[in-house]
Structure 1
Amino acid sequence: MLRTIDSDQLRPGMYVYKLLGAWVHHPFWKTSFLVDSDDVEKIHGSRIEQLVIDTARGLDLDTAAPDAPDPQPEPEQPPPPVPEPPEPATTTRTARTNSVTAQVGIESEVVRARKIFEDGRDTVEAMFRDVRLGRTVDTEAAMPLVEAINDSVLRHPQALISVARLKTADDYTYLHSMAVAGLMSGLARQLGLPEGQVVEAAMGGLLHDMGKAVTPLDILNKPGKLTDEEMAIMRQHPLDGHRLLVAGGVQNAVVLEIALHHHEKMDGSGYPNRLAGENIALMSRMGAVCDVYDAISSDRPYKRGWDPAESLKRMASWQGHFDPVVFQAFVRRLGIYPVGSLVRLESQKLAVVIEQTPDALLKPKVRVFYSAKLRSHVLVQDIDLSRPDCQDRIAQMESPSDWGFRDLEKLWLP
C-alpha cells in the first residue's frame, strides 16, 4: 500500500516509492529504493518535505523502529523490547548501489544502451516539442532517462557512447542530447564532482541543445556548409535554448548555464557572449568538450564522423578552445584510443579497440581482423595489449576511410 508521510517520519527499513520534490532538492539518482540510516540522514538534510512509501515492500509507520524516546522513570517491570526491523533479502541500499556500479562486459551493456536510446528518443522528442510549443519543460519526467543513462555509464563507461555514434541524420539532434548527457555524467565523475553535481551535469547535457527546437530544419539538416547568414541563425540556439528553458519553468542555474554557454571557448572566440577562461563556468567548459566530441565523431548530414581517436587528436590540436584540465580528464575517461578506434599494431595488423584498460591507456584490448602487410582479412582475434606476455603494441592510429572500411561497428557491436 502506498502512503504519504512527512520526511521526518522516515525510518530505516521503509521503502521510498517516490520523493515529493524536484530532483535538484535531493542527492539521489533513483526516487524508489529501500532506505538505510544514511539515506534517512540525507533526506532529513535535504529540502524534501514529504515522500510516498510502499508498505508492501518495506516497513510501515506502525512497524518501523521509533526514535529513542525521552528518558522516563524506570518502570517496575521493563517493557518488552522493540523488535528489530526485518533484514531485507537482497534489496539493501548497499546491494542496490553495487548492482549498478558493478562493471559488466561491453557487449552486454551495449544491448542495454540500445534500449535506452530507443526508449529515450520519445522522451527527448517530446521535450523538444513542448519547448517549441511554449509548454512547461517537465524535468521530472526526464529523470528516469537521466538515471538510466547514468546507470549505464557506471556499468560500462564506453558502451553507451559507442552506441551513440550510430545515430542517423534524422535522429541526430535527439540522440546527440542523450550522448552528451552520458559524456557529461562520466566526465563529472572523472573530475570527482559530488553526486548532486553529477545529476546536474547529466541533465544539463540532456537539455543543452533545446534551442535547436526553434532553429529552421533546412538549416539544422543542411547537407553542406552553412552560409554566413545561416551560421548566424544557427548561433542563436544557445540564447534560444536559455530563453525557452526559462519560459518552460526550468530554474536550475547549472542547467541554464550549460544551455547558454556550451559554445564558449577558453580564448574568448566562442559564442554567444565571447566569454574567456575562468569567466566560463566549469559545467559549461565540460559541456563544450562533450558537445564537440560527440558532434565530430558522429555522422552528420554533410559529413561522416571522425574515428574516436582521430576526434580526440583533432580536439587536442585546437589551441584555446577547451579547458586543458577538463580535456585531459575527458581523455582519461574515454582512453587515448577510445572504444571503436582503428589502430595499426607493430605486427602490421589492423585492429579495432574494444575495451579500455584503465591503468594502461596505451594498451587497450583490441580485435584484430586485417593484415596491413598482406592487405587482406585475417582470422578475427581479441588481444589484451596490457598482458605482460603480449609482445604487440599500438604503432599508430589509422583512418577507416583510408582503408575503405565502412561500418566497422559491425565487427564488435552485438
Structure 2
Amino acid sequence: MTDSPYLRIPVEAVTLGMYVQELCGAWVNHPFWRAHFLLEDPEDLRRLKESSVREVLIDPSRGLSPPALKQADSKPETSSQPRPTTPVDESQRNTTASSAIRRSLEQEIESARQLCSKSKKVVMAMFQDARLGRAVEVEGARAMVNEITVSVERHPTALISLARLKTADEYTYLHSVAVCALMISLARQLHLDEGLVREAGLAGLLHDIGKMCVPMSILNKPGRLDDAEVACVREHPSRGSDILREGRQVGALVLDVCLHHHEKLDGSGYPHGLAGEQISLVARMGAVCDIYDAITSDRPYKSGWDPAESLQRMSRWCGHHLDESVFQAFIRCLGIYPVGALVRLQSDRLAVVVDQSTELLLPIVKVFYSTRTKAALPVELLDLSKLKGRERIAARESPERWGFQNLEAFWCELDRRRGSIFDR
C-alpha cells in the first residue's frame, strides 16, 4: 500500500484536463520533452495515445481525475495549482445545465435587476466578513453563481449590461457580480464543461475579495493614487488568495483567478510578473472580464467608457496585455456593438443598441435622433439583421460628443437619477 498522491492509469483512460506527473516507461519512448504537464492540447493527447507509452501517473490535485474516482472524492480542493480549463465537444457542453427558457432582453431585465440587488447583498456580507477577519462563508456565493448562471442562460447579456449601470459607491460589490456573469458567459463561449463554467463564475464573484484588506479611503479615493497607495492596492490579489486558501472552501481554479487576474502576457502584471504560457486560461479570462467591467463602470475618479469604445480600446491591448483568442471569444459574448452602445446608421440617424441578433455586425437598435436635422425622432425599433442591407451601422459614436445622458433608458427603462437601480 502506498501513500502516493499520484494515480497510475492506462493511457487509454487519459483525457484532456489531466495533469501528467510521469510517463511510465523508458524516456526514449516518450513523445514529449516535458517531464510533467497539464494536458490541454488535443494534438498532445493524440501523440500520447499513439506512442509506445502504456501507462501514466496523473496528479488529481492539479487536474481531472478518472470519472470513477470523482464521486468518491468529496473533499474540498486546497491545492494552489490551477484546476484545468478543458474545452469539451459542443454536443456535450450543457449536459448538466438547467433547462432555462431563452428570454428577450426586455423580459429578463426585471429578473436581472432583482438578482443584482440580491447578489450585491451576498457579496457585501462576504466582503464584510473578510474585512473583519472572520471566515468567509462561500456556500451563499455558490448559490448566487447558480442563479446568475440561469440568468445568463435565459439571456446572455441582460445581467451583464444592467450591472454596468452601478453607481461609483456600489462599484466594489457589483463589480464582482458583473465579473461573475461575464466569466460564465465567456466560459460558455469557450465551450468549457458545465462544472468549470460555474467554477469560473465563482472565481469572478470572489476575484476581488482581497480588496477588503485595502483601506476604503484608498479604494474610494477620487484622485490619483500615490506610489504607496498603488503598492497597497497591488497587494489585493495575494491577500485575497490567502483569505480563500485559509477558508479551504474553494478549488484551485478560483484561487488562480483571484491571484493572477492582474497578470499580463508581456510579464508587466502583478503580483508575480507571469508571462505568456505561465498564465492559465482562466486567469486570462479573468483579466479580460475584470478590465471590461472596470472601464465601462463609473468610478470615484472617472466616468465609465461607452461599451463599444471600451472593446475597441481593449483590442489594442491584445498580444502584450490580453490574450487575443480569449478577447475574440469575449466579443462574441457581448457583440461587436454591446447593449448600450451609441451608433450612427448609414441613414445618418443615431441609435442605441438594445439587444443582439443572429449577426454580430447587425444588432437590434432603437433609433431616436437625426444627425442631419439635429432633432429627436420618434423612437423606432430595428432588427438590422432583418433589413437585408437596407440599413447598417456606419460608425460608433460618443455620447459625450452629442451631450446625451441616460441612454440606458432606451433599453432598460430604469431612471438612474434616483440613485441606485438595484435597491428599489
Q: Given the alignment of the two structures, is residue 135 of structure 1 paired with residue 134 of structure 2, yes or no?
A: yes
Q: Given the alignment of the two structures, is residue 381 of structure 1 paired with residue 368 of structure 2, yes or no?
A: no
1:108 deviates by 1.5
Is the contact between residue 95 and residue 194 of structure 2 (CA under 8 Å) also seen in structure 1? no
String of CA shifts for 1:333-358, please: whole Å, max 9, x gaps: 11100111000001000000111123
Is the contact between residue 131 and residue 245 of structure 1 (CA under 8 Å) also seen in structure 2? no
1:142 deviates by 1.4
Q: What is the distance in 2 between the residues matched to 1:197 and 1:43?
A: 18
1:165 deviates by 1.0
Q: What is the distance in 1 between the residues matched to 2:369 and 2:224?
A: 35
1:247 deviates by 2.2
Q: Given the alignment of the two structures, is residue 144 of structure 1 paired with residue 169 of structure 2, yes or no?
A: no
1:249 deviates by 2.7
Is the contact between residue 175 and residue 293 of structure 2 (CA under 8 Å) also seen in structure 1? yes
Q: Which residue of 1 aligns with 2:98?
A: 97
Is the contact between residue 136 and residue 249 of structure 1 (CA under 8 Å) also seen in structure 2? no
Q: What is the distance in 1 between the residues matched to 2:152 and 2:68?
A: 25
Q: Given the alignment of the two structures, is residue 336 of structure 1 paired with residue 327 of structure 2, yes or no?
A: no
Q: Given the alignment of the two structures, is residue 46 of structure 1 paired with residue 46 of structure 2, yes or no?
A: no
Q: TM-score, normalising length from structure 1?
A: 0.76
**Residues 288, 43 of structure 1: alpha-carbon distance in 2 compared, 3 angstrom cutoff:** same
Q: What is the distance in 1 between the residues matched to 2:312 and 2:96?
A: 40
Q: Which residue of 2 aligns with 1:258?
A: 257
Q: Which residue of 1 aligns with 2:268?
A: 269
Question: How do residues 15-414 of structure 1 correspond to structure 2 at under 5 angstroms?
Answer: 46-47=71-72, 97-98=98-99, 100=100, 102-319=101-318, 320-358=320-358, 360-389=359-388, 391-414=390-413
Q: What is the distance in 2 between the residues matched to 1:189 and 1:307?
A: 25
Q: TM-score, normalising length from structure 2?
A: 0.74
1:262 deviates by 0.2
Instruction: Give RMSD over aligned pairs.
Output: 2.1
1:233 deviates by 1.1
**Residues 136, 339 of structure 1: alpha-carbon distance in 2 compared, 3 angstrom cutoff:** same
Query: Which has the higher Rg, Structure 1 or Structure 2?
Result: 1
2:71 is matched by which residue type in structure 1? Answer: S
Q: What is the distance in 1 between the residues matched to 2:96 and 2:73?
A: 24
1:361 deviates by 0.4
Q: What is the distance in 1 between the residues matched to 2:285 and 2:345?
A: 32
Is the contact between residue 131 and residue 212 of structure 2 (CA under 8 Å) also seen in structure 1? yes
1:368 deviates by 0.2
The secondary structure found in structure 1 opposite 2:143 is: helix
Q: What is the distance in 2 between the residues matched to 1:44 and 1:211?
A: 33
1:95 deviates by 12
Is the contact between residue 340 and residue 353 of structure 1 (CA under 8 Å) also seen in structure 2? yes
> Which 10-residue stretch deviates more, 343-352 or 130-139?
130-139
1:216 deviates by 0.9
Q: What is the distance in 2 between the residues matched to 1:227 and 1:250?
A: 35
1:131 deviates by 1.4
1:353 is matched by which residue type in structure 2? Answer: V
How many correspondences in the alignment?
328
Percent identical residues = 54
Q: What is the distance in 2 between the residues matched to 1:108 and 1:310?
A: 27
1:400 deviates by 0.6
Q: What is the distance in 2 between the residues matched to 1:103 and 1:372?
A: 36
2:350 is matched by which residue type in structure 1? Answer: L
String of CA shifts for 1:88-127, please: whole Å, max 9, x gaps: xxxxx999933x1x21010111111100111111111111
**Residues 43, 307 of structure 1: alpha-carbon distance in 2 compared, 3 angstrom cutoff:** farther
Q: What is the distance in 1 between the residues matched to 2:72 and 2:257?
A: 24
1:329 deviates by 0.3
- Answer 1 or 2: higher relative contact order, Cα 8 Å, separation at least 6: 2
4+ runs deviating over 3 angstroms:
42-45, 93-97
**Residues 251, 364 of structure 1: alpha-carbon distance in 2 compared, 3 angstrom cutoff:** closer
Is the contact between residue 137 and residue 249 of structure 1 (CA under 8 Å) also seen in structure 2? no
2:98 is matched by which residue type in structure 1? Answer: T
1:390 deviates by 5.0
**Residues 97, 141 of structure 1: alpha-carbon distance in 2 compared, 3 angstrom cutoff:** closer
Gaps of 5+ in 2: 1-66, 75-93, 414-424
1:134 deviates by 2.4
2:262 is matched by which residue type in structure 1? Answer: H
Q: What is the distance in 1 between the residues matched to 2:407 and 2:167?
A: 16
Q: What is the distance in 2 between the residues matched to 1:171 and 1:205?
A: 16
1:169 deviates by 1.3
1:413 deviates by 0.7
Q: Which residue of 2 aligns with 1:78?
A: none
Q: What is the distance in 1 between the residues matched to 2:283 and 2:200?
A: 9
The secondary structure found in structure 2 opposite 1:337 is: coil
Q: What is the distance in 2 between the residues matched to 1:193 and 1:307?
A: 29
**Residues 228, 107 of structure 1: alpha-carbon distance in 2 compared, 3 angstrom cutoff:** same
Is the contact between residue 342 and residue 351 of structure 1 (CA under 8 Å) also seen in structure 2? yes
**Residues 279, 96 of structure 1: alpha-carbon distance in 2 compared, 3 angstrom cutoff:** closer
2:226 is matched by which residue type in structure 1? Answer: T
2:243 is matched by which residue type in structure 1? Answer: L
String of CA shifts for 1:266-324, please: whole Å, max 9, x gaps: 11111111101110011100000000000000111111101110000000012411011
**Residues 219, 385 of structure 1: alpha-carbon distance in 2 compared, 3 angstrom cutoff:** same
**Residues 298, 47 of structure 1: alpha-carbon distance in 2 compared, 3 angstrom cutoff:** farther
